[in-house]
Structures are given as structure tokens and as C-alpha cells.
Structure 1
Amino acid sequence: MTVEDIPRLHELSVAVSWPHRADDWAMVIGLGHGWVARDQIGRVFGSAMWFPFSDSVASIGMVITSPRLQENGAGGWLMRRVLAETQGRARVLNATKEAFRLYVSLGFKTLAAVHQMNGVVTSVPEFPATARPMRDADRAAVLRLDTDAMGVARPEVMAALLAVSQGMVIERDGQIVGFALLRQFGRGWVIGPIVAENEADAMALCGPFIAAHQGQFMRVDTRETDGPFRDFLTAGGIEAYDTVQRMSLEPLPEPVGPARTFGLVNQALG
């Protein structure tokens, strides 16, 4: 997979109703490694990517096959190539309903559900006014928080995100204890990652972004199944849309805490 494939990859993702823009494809191609499957006349009918978080962990994503070939083994062919390239790392992915059986057949085990919340912001629910805009001086603390919440460092991913995102942080007693990033994605905006110690902090981090984008489309991918944070998003018009399953092939590093991930970068990058 190369940047020259982006126009055809964009067509492929549109065909399966994924929201990725050409710019979103450019970001993931810059961060990972991938394969495309072509037919005899050069049309792209499949894709699969992997992203190195470290020498020990890789995230797999952007696995798409043309609807007419989903039952003909194209997904398995692509996944076997990705798995061969990632041997020696713990592999993690977020499985769509369409691909779930494929991943089970390859040995992946289910960890948790990831809920895609999206919609046009219709109102601004109340939220604690405890977050402030991120500064350059906060960068090291934000990277440390992300590493602790993930259980593994992903400096290349975070560097790419910070270059195109707005950030909010929560500071207590001179320490950064939570952060959230906002960037353009798909039909509008996505908030992620969101790393916080509790639901009130997660709401405080997202609230300013929601308030600034009334009438615009916004997305959050979260592992929260219910509770105040989910209710807060729903009250603003960011509602449950779809669910995927987080799966892994090997045991993953444990998060350190106390902060945890309330919102993903996206389903490919975790």
C-alpha cells in the first residue's frame, strides 16, 4: 500500500459506507504498513493495515474487502499477510460485525465492545469547567498519560495526532491528569484519544469541544457501556450508532492507571 493507492482506497471505503476521507487514509498510510488486493484490471478490492506501537505490540485495522468478494476469501488472504509481518508482536484489532467470524477463525479472542457514538451536536449538556487548552509544555505529560492508559507507548501515532489536533487538559496540583484531542475526520470531527481518571473529567475534557461545534457532526469511539459519560454524549446529540469488538491474538500489556481511555483515536489505531 502506498499513497498512490489513496484514490482507489477511498472509493473502496465509500463502497462499504466507511466515513474516511482521502486525508484520513493519508494519515493511516503514513503511520502504518499495508497491503492492497487488485483485480486483473487494477481495481482495488481489498485492504489491510498494521501499525507498530512498539517492538512488542501491533494494532491491525483498515481491513476492507469489496462486498462482492467478502465471501471469497479476500479478507483471509490479506489478514494472513498482515499476521506474517507482525509475528513476534501482540496483535490487537477492533472487529466489525462483517469481519468478526474471520478474526475468530484466525484465533483472535474477544476483549470488550467498542461503541461508535456519533451525530450532529444539537445541544451542550452541562459539564465541569475544570479543563483548559493544551500547551506545548504539556506534551510530555500527555504522552506519558497515553502510554499509561494504553499499557504501551505509541509516540509516532501521538506525534501525528498532535500535529493536526486541538487539545484540552486537566491539571491538578501542577500535574496533568487527563487530556483529550479533537481533529477533523470523516463527516466532521472526532474526539480521541480521551484519557481521564473518571467520568466527570472525561466530560470536562469533551465539553468545550462540543460547545464549540454545535450543528456539526461529531464522533467518539468509547468502551464505556453506560453511565454519566455516555449519557452526556447522548444528551448532546452524539448517540450510539454501531458496535465493534476489541479482540487480541496474544495477551496485551496492562494499563498502568489511574487514568484510563474513555475515547479511542479511531478503531484502527486504538
Structure 2
Amino acid sequence: MGPPARERMSGMQESVRLKSFELVARDIAGVDVHLLHALTLSVGWPHRTKDWQFLIRAGQGIAAVDGIGRVFGTAMWFPHGDDFATVGLVITSPRNQAQGGGRWLMDRVFEQCGGRDLALNATRAAHGLYLSLGFVDEASVHMHQGKLARDIPALPPVNGELSTPGADEFAEILPIDSQAFGRSRERLLTLLSENASICVLRRGGKVVGYSMRRDFGRGHVIGPVAAVNAEDALHLTAVHMKALRGRFVRVDTREADGPYATFLEQCGLSIAEVVTTMSKGRRFLNRQADQPWFYGLAGHALS
């Protein structure tokens, strides 16, 4: 097995010339996070400097910089074991969006990922690029966001008990997450839990679902939300909303309709964007009846 990607990056000087300027790939961990924040601002993405700092801790990636250190593009990947990764934060500045910068960034990601199966959530603008790179469509993700209503719709009684897990109980959510995600992502969940509020749903003393809430972008993200049915997911989402009335909230979900999508709309969270979950290699999503499923995602890059 070869050296880690970041070690390989230390000697990588691959570059691409885009018209009158040349961009060089740099390990994203060594790039000024304020320059990364400026890039997301330029394309209208909500990531703050602290969001970038978290993502760099959680994953690996590259930044495309010019001769004086300005950032013109990024691409990150988040490994989950030795054979799978999610890809995200593939951003090209307006100056080089039409000049092949996205394809060049993805070629660097492929090189670093070493043959892993991959999944990502593609914006409409990038969808064609990913199709040309061999990714296939699997599902749509609906980004619900807005100022949360002060009057949350009433729900029927919860089937079980909602509670905040203690530090010694955190491991109980890992099997639920692994079943919903299709593989273990313990390291990511541990990082998320550092600054998240967590709720678990127990029936008969057994954890059957969980949810997280954390600061992100313009306000708060509720996700992941893992549950075996929509009714459980509603309670695991609503429990976090009680502390967020009147504040900006985002929930990313693959539920296009049904009770979960309807509930989000009733709470004032309208659909701001729809992106496409895509995979390259082994199929990513595998929803099964009466098994945990993600009603709310951790984020576009983290899936």
C-alpha cells in the first residue's frame, strides 16, 4: 500500500495552464482557510471558515492555486475504509469554470483515491461533467432551508423514547449509521459529534434511530437523521427544531414527497436547490424496507 495521499501531494507539482495563467495543485490542508472561504463566497456557497476547518479535518483534497497563491478551485474526498469515498467541495472559480478546471481537479481526485468506489452530490451545473467521467445517477437530494416557523406542526406520540446519549452511549448510534450508509464511518461521526447536539430514539431499550444538529453556513443543519420510517424521522428532526424556532435551518433529504418532505415545508423550509446523488463503481444507495435510512443528510459533501 502506498503512502497517504497527503504525503504524495508533498511532491506533486502537476499543473494546468488555463489561457493566460497556470494553476498548480496544492494539498488543501496547507492552504490559508480564509482563501478557501473567499472561493466559496465567489460562487455563492455558504461555507464559513470554521466549516472549511472541519471539512479539512474530516477529509483530504487539493486546491488549485496560481503563482501568487490565489485559490481558483478545490476538490475534496472523504474516505470511509479502503474501498469507498465521498467527493465534495469541487469548486471552480467563475474565471476558470469553462476552461477545464473541474475535469483537471477530478483527475487529481481519482489519482488520490486509488481506485475506490465513489459517490457525490452533483449540482445542475456540474452534472454533465460527472456523467462524462463515468458517474451514474442514483437519486435526487432536496435542499430544504429557510427561517424555521415558530409554530412547529404537532406530531402523534413518539413510538419509543427520545433522549440525549451520554458519552459512553455514543457507540450505540454507529450500527444504525453503518446500516443506513452501507459502510462504517465512525471517524466522521466522531468528528461531527464534537460540536453537535445528538438525539437517539430507543424502543425496548434498543437504539433504532438517531439525529444530529450543528452550526453550519447561515445557521444550523439538522442531519444526519437516520430512522427506519418517516414517523421516527419526524420526531428525530422535530426534537432539534424546538431550540431553533425563528432561526435559519437547513435539512438535505432524498425524500421528494410524503410525510417527511411535507413536514419540512410546513415548518417553513422550502426547497432551495435540487442536486443529484451519483456514483462511480459500486452502487452507493441501497434502501431496504424496515431498515435504517437517512431522511436527513450530514451534508452534500459528506452524504
Same fold, TM-score > 0.5, yes or no = yes
Aligned ranges 1:170-249 → 2 under 5 Å: 170-249=201-280
Equivalent of 2:298 in 256, 260, 265: 265
Q: 1:193–1:263: 8 Å Cα contact kept in structure 2?
A: yes
Q: Which amino acid aligns with 1:22?
A: T
Q: 1:114–1:245: 8 Å Cα contact kept in structure 2?
A: yes
Q: 1:128–1:204: 8 Å Cα contact kept in structure 2?
A: no
3-state SS, counterpart of residue 124 of structure 2: coil
Residue 18 of structure 1 pairs with residue 45 of structure 2:
yes
Equivalent pairs: percent with the same residue?
Answer: 41
**Cα deviation code 1:168-212 (max 9, x no counterpart):** 111001100010000000000001100001111111011121121
- What TM-score comes out, normalization by structure 1 length? 0.96
Distance 2:261 2:287 in 1: 22
Residue number in structure 1 paired with 2:187: 156
Q: 1:128–1:201: 8 Å Cα contact kept in structure 2?
A: no
Equivalent of 2:65 in 38, 42, 47: 38
**Cα deviation code 1:21-40 (max 9, x no counterpart):** 11110011001111111123
Distance 2:169 2:153 in 1: 27
Distance 1:189 1:231 in 2: 20
Give the superposition deviation at 1:255.
5.9
Greater Cα shift, 205-214 or 2-11: 2-11
Residue 29 of structure 1 pairs with residue 56 of structure 2:
yes
3-state SS, counterpart of residue 32 of structure 2: helix
- What is the CA RMSD across the aligned residues, in angstroms? 1.4
Aligned ranges 1:88-167 → 2 under 5 Å: 88-122=115-149, 123-130=151-158, 131-167=162-198
Residue number in structure 2 paired with 1:82: 109
Q: 2:31–2:63: 8 Å Cα contact kept in structure 1?
A: no
Q: 2:46–2:217: 8 Å Cα contact kept in structure 1?
A: yes
3-state SS, counterpart of residue 302 of structure 2: coil
Regions of 4+ moved over 4 Å: 253-257
Q: Which amino acid aligns with 2:191?
A: A
- What TM-score comes out, normalization by structure 2 length? 0.86
Residue 5 of structure 1 pairs with residue 5 of structure 2:
no
Q: 1:150–1:255: 8 Å Cα contact kept in structure 2?
A: no
3-state SS, counterpart of residue 142 of structure 1: helix
Cα separation, partners in 2 of 1:163 and 1:255, compared to 1, 3 Å: farther
**Cα deviation code 1:77-99 (max 9, x no counterpart):** 11000011113211110001111
Q: Which amino acid aligns with 1:239?
A: S
3-state SS, counterpart of residue 258 of structure 1: coil
Q: 5+ unaligned residues in a row in structure 1: which ranges?
A: none
Distance 2:223 2:156 in 1: 19
Distance 1:42 1:3 in 2: 11
Of structures 1 and 2, the one with the larger relative CO (CA 8 A, separation 6+) is: 1
Q: Which amino acid aligns with 1:101?
A: G
Distance 1:129 1:207 in 2: 12
Give the superposition deviation at 1:128.
4.0
Give the superposition deviation at 1:138.
3.0
Give the superposition deviation at 1:252.
3.3
Distance 1:170 1:128 in 2: 15
**Cα deviation code 1:23-63 (max 9, x no counterpart):** 11001100111111112332101000111011111111000
Larger radius of gyration: 2
Q: What is the aligned length?
A: 270
Distance 1:224 1:269 in 2: 17
Q: 5+ unaligned residues in a row in structure 2: which ranges?
A: 1-27
Distance 1:119 1:266 in 2: 16
Q: 1:3–1:29: 8 Å Cα contact kept in structure 2?
A: no
**Cα deviation code 1:115-139 (max 9, x no counterpart):** 1010001231112453222333431
Cα separation, partners in 2 of 1:133 and 1:215, compared to 1, 3 Å: same
Q: Which amino acid aligns with 1:124?
A: I
